[in-house]
Amino acid sequence: MFFDSDLLMSALRALTPILLAALGGALCERAGVFNIGLEGMMLMGCFTSVATSWFTGSAWLGVLAAALAAAAYSLILAVGAVTLRGDAVVLGIAMNLLAVGLTSFLLRTVFGVQGTFDDPSLAGLPLVGGFTPLAYLAFVAVAVAALMLSRHVWGLRLRGVGEAPDAAATLGVSPAKYKYAAVLISGVLCGLAGAQLALGNVTLFSENMTAGRGWIAVVAVMLGRAAPVGVLLAALLFGLAEAAGFRLQGVGLPQQATDAAPYVVTLVALFLSTARRRRRTANSPSGATT
């Protein structure tokens, strides 16, 4: 019984935070802002959701606060990269580092503990059919984002801003406005991802608890070529690889090997997708990629 419903459940639980963050990253990518601060924004969401849930007793207020806090935190990237024209990669790395330090510091000052804050009376998100409502919301968000980007005028303009900002500006579309919107939405989504991780997957906060999930999300954005459905498939691949990795330990594979599972999957998927893309490019008469 290697593939069973438990494996699928486990994969979907691993998938949700990554998917939410990656979706935010994809919108930024489409708007022409390379966002690698997903990890830090997610971590801010984790802490805010736990702190708010603890002091108000409501997990939903925690989710709301996480979305707002991460959106506010994402302003660093928006102001820095869009208004001040700074390097988004440098800003993203700085945001990730700052988030680890800031949340550890707040953990000490607000809760007076180090490492982990955990209390049996901390309110977590309710489970509907084994998953939190945020997990379902993630899938709805994929559909909404896909429709917006392909059909709605707002999404089309966003893509225009990302692909040719000067052309968009001549048409009367303000690139800065759309870039700000994309970064702020990615902040909200990362906040939700953090809340899902800290109040859904587990019900606690521990320092650096995102543990690289934001980076996996960045890779999912690249692998899914910043298309919502592509990102969903990439995130699903990671979720399955991780869940399968856990199971492989059960059949006797060493941990060091199962740890590598998500990365091996990434490499294989990258090779396959670039090979396919190159073949398609070679076949098409104009040589243009889509």
Partner 1 sequence: MLRRSRRTLQLVAATTLMVTAATACNAAAKTDASDSASGGSGKSFTLVTPDAVGQNEFLKLAVTGVKAAAKTHDGTEKVYESTDTASQQQNVQAAVDASPNVIVLVGFEFADLVAQQAKAHPKQQFLMIDACTTKTFTNVTCAVFREHEGVYLAGAEAGLLSKSGKVGAVDVLDTPQFRRYSDPFAAGAKKVAAKTSASTRFVGGQSPFDDSARAKEQANSLLSKGTDQIMAAAAAGNYGVFEAAKAKGAFAYGVDVNQCVSSPGTVVDNVIKKTDVAVEKGVEQVLAGKTGTSVSYGLKEGGISLTGLEAGVDSSKCVIAQHKDVLTKVKALRDQIVSGKLKVDDPAAS
Stretch that binds partner 1, among 60-68, 168-176, 184-192, 246-254 (CB under 8 A): 246-254
Q: How far apart are the first and last CA of the chain?
A: 41
In the complex with partner 1, which residue's Cβ is closer, 78 or 240? Answer: 240
Stretch that binds partner 1, among 48-56, 148-156, 165-173, 244-252 (CB under 8 A): 244-252
Q: One symbol per residue from 106 to 135: x for binding partner 1 (CB under 8 A), - otherwise; what is it? A: --x---xxxxx-xxx---------------
Q: What is the DSSP string of 109-152?
A: III--SSEE--TT---PPPBTTB-HHHHHHHHHHHHHHHHHHTS
Q: Rounded to 10 degrees, what is the CA torsion of 219, 224, 226, 227?
A: -160
Q: Is 211 in the site for partner 1 (CB under 8 A)?
A: yes
- Determine contact, residues 31/182, Cβ cutoff 8 Å: yes
Token pair of 270 as six digits: 């990258």
- Determine contact, residues 75/184, Cβ cutoff 8 Å: yes
Nearest to 42 by CA among 67, 65, 15: 67
For residues 49 and 193, what is the distance between their CA atoms, to the nearest angstrom? Answer: 10
Among 197, 237, 240, 265, binds partner 1 (CB under 8 A): 197
Q: One symbol per residue from 80 to 99: x for binding partner 1 (CB under 8 A), - otherwise; what is it? A: --------------------
Q: Is 53 in the site for partner 1 (CB under 8 A)?
A: no
Among 3, 4, 150, 167, binds partner 1 (CB under 8 A): 4
Residue 138's DSSP bridge partners are none
Q: Is 212 in the site for partner 1 (CB under 8 A)?
A: yes
- Cα angle vertex 232, ends 231, 234, to 5°? 60
Q: Is 170 in the site for partner 1 (CB under 8 A)?
A: no
Q: Is 54 in the site for partner 1 (CB under 8 A)?
A: no
- Please give the residue ranges that form the binding site for partner 1 (CB under 8 A): 4, 6, 10, 13-14, 108, 112-116, 118-120, 197, 201-204, 206-209, 211-212, 242-243, 246-247, 249-250, 254-256, 258-259
